[in-house]
Amino acid sequence: MSRRYAIASESSVIVYFGTTIDPLISQEVQKAYQALKAKNQEGFYEIIPSYASLMVSYDVMRFDFDAVCEIIENSIHQAEALMLNEPKIITIPVYYGREVGLDLELLAQEKNLSVEEIIALHVKGLYTVYAIGFAPGFAYLGEIDERLATPRLASPRKAVPKGSVSIADRQTAVYPTQSPGGWKVLGRTPTAMFDASYEGLSLLHVGDHVRYESISKEEFLKLGGEL
C-alpha cells in the first residue's frame, strides 16, 4: 500500500494511507499506530490515528522531518506482519423516542421510510470506530446503511443534548457532552462516552466495533438517561 508523508506543522508529520473510508485502510492505520506505540520512541509526543492517516508530533530539537519519516516508515514495515487483536464490541443502548430523536421524522420524510424503518436500519449495523475527535470522547463510526445517508443540517443547532445519537453522511456518532452540532439526531443514550474512569477517558477507541440497541423509555430512564 502506497503512503504519502506531509508536514502537518513545524513539529508534526502526517502519513496518508489512502483517501477513502475503507476497513482495509483503517486496519493498516491501526497496525502502524500499534507498532509506533509499542516502539515508545523517545521524542515522539503524540500519535493520533484517523480514518486513513496517522499524525505524529515530535521534538524538533531531536528530529527533522526526514528522520521522523524514516522512523515511521521502518515501524510500518515491521507492522506489516502484525496481527491485530480481535476488536472489542461495545453495545450502546439507545432510546429512539420522538422527544429525543429530534430529526427522526425529518429523516423519515426525506427517505420516504417510516420512523420504525429508520430505527431498524440504524440498529442492524456493526460499526467501526475510525477516529476520535471534535470533542473528547466523540467517536466517528462508519458506515451506516446507504439508505440512511444524509447531509448535515443546513443550520446547525446551538446545543445538541449530551448522549444524542446522530448521523451525517454515512457516519454515526454520539455527542459525549452538550455542544453545538449539525448532525441529525435519531435518539439518545444513557451511556457516558467520556469519563475519568475510562481508559484514555473515552469509552470507545479506534478499531472498536459498536452496536446500537433500541431500548424503551422506561429502560432509558432506569439506566440514568435524562429527557
pLDDT value, residue 26: 87
Residue 189 lies in a domain: yes
Tally the domains of the chain. 2
C-alpha cell, 209: 466495533
Q: CATH number for the domain including 137?
A: 2.40.100.10
Of how many residues is the chain composed? 227
d(CA 209, CA 140): 11
For 115-126, what is each residue's pLDDT tens digit?
999 999 999 999
Mean pLDDT of the chain: 93
Cα atoms in the Cβ-side hemisphere of radius 13 Å centred on 105: 5
pLDDT value, residue 84: 66
Which residue do the cell numbers 459498536 mark?
210
Q: What is the mean pLDDT of residues 22-31?
A: 87
The verdict on 146 and 50 lying in the same domain is no
Provide the pLDDT confidence category of residue 81 given band limits of 50, 70 and 90. Answer: low
Q: Tell me if the pTM is above 0.95.
A: no
Beta strand 89-95 pairing with 209-215:
parallel
Provide the pLDDT confidence category of residue 135 given band limits of 50, 70 and 90. Answer: confident
Angle between helix axes 115-123 and 104-111 (nearest 10 degrees) is 100
The verdict on 70 and 93 lying in the same domain is no
Residue 56 lies in a domain: yes
The domain boundary, picked from 79, 99, 127, lies at: 79
Average the pLDDT over each of 51-65, 74-88, 118-132 and give the range with the smallest value.
74-88
The verdict on 67 and 93 lying in the same domain is no
Domain extent, residue 31, equals 4-79
Q: Answer with the residue of higher pLDDT: 139 or 38.
A: 139
- Residues near 161 by beta carbon (within 8 Å), at least 6 away in sequence: 100, 175, 178, 185, 188
Q: Is 80 exceeded by the pLDDT of residue 80? A: no
Residue 186 lies in a domain: yes
The domain boundary, picked from 79, 110, 136, lies at: 79
